[in-house]
Amino acid sequence: MNGFFLINKEKNMSSHDAIYLIKKKLNLNKIGHTGILDPMAEGLLIVLINKATKLAFLFENLDKTYQGSIIFNKNFDTLDVTGKIIDTKTNILSIEEIEKSFLFFSKKKYLQVPPMYSAIKIKGKKMYNLARKNIQIDIPPRKVNIKNLKITSSFENDSIDFETKVSKGTYIRSLARDIASQMNTYGALKKLTRTKIGLYNLKKAQNINSVDFKNLIDVKILFKKTQKIILNDYLIKLVKNGVLLDERQISTTKSFLVLDKNQNWIAYYEPIQKNKYYPKYFF
């Protein structure tokens, strides 16, 4: 069986622990996920199994939607409330100020500095391991796109709820920090739930305890809009051996599926240069 699950990860559990439990429960050989959720966060985790783990790249660029809560005037080393408080402020914030800061970041592309406590590697070492040893480094910023950002609650006890849709590579902990910094104060996440990855919704996700093969989504759903070509038996044999295709079979700038004369799916190809195509996945 090859495919993927939509999983509702509980908080206080790492993404690694979540997939380990699924692997053990379903007795799987290969398993992986398409995007880490911090232990303090909950929500949608896409889990790939067996051969489908090779298709993780198809999920990499999907936008993600989150709901969460920010607490202001407190600076945590992890940028969320699971960390250690470094400093506090007593700024009296108004809802007008907060709305202005949210508006500033909504539909905004900017260079965001990831949290020190993150799984990003610098010179082969994960940053959270460096942070735990109090090793300070310059963290390279990354370009992110805040596609939507809105307040979803009243402002009470220095806290406010929000919803946001963001591009690949965006850290919501960093966004909370940056929203607060715009108002000359601190900000940290109190809670976070990932509700969507692309078109996939948390509402259709399974809890780890109830996950079953009947919930497995066939990888073919990922290729609904992918163009297809049918090749003869001789070329199909070559395709199965990983041959590159060229303009003699197809001329396109897009990825495509190779089918045999009986409409069986054989391989998924992507362009690597003009009129040269490489097999990325075999069915």
Catalytic positions: 38
Strand-pair category, 245-246 with 187-197: unpaired
**DSSP alpha helix (H) spans, 67-126:** 95-105
What whole-number distance in Å separates Cα of residue 71 and Cα of residue 65? Answer: 20
For residue 173, what are its two tokens? 């902990």
Cα Dmax for the chain? 74
Helix axes 172-181, 95-105, angle to 10 degrees: 130
Give the number of other Cβ atoms within 10 Å of residue 115's Cβ. Answer: 24
Q: Which residue has 């996700």 as its token pair?
A: 205
| Helix, strand or coil, per DSSP, at residue 213 | helix
3-state secondary structure of 56: helix
Strands 206-207 and 3-9 turn out to be parallel
Among residues 164, 61, 58, the alpha carbon closest in space to that of 105 is found at 164
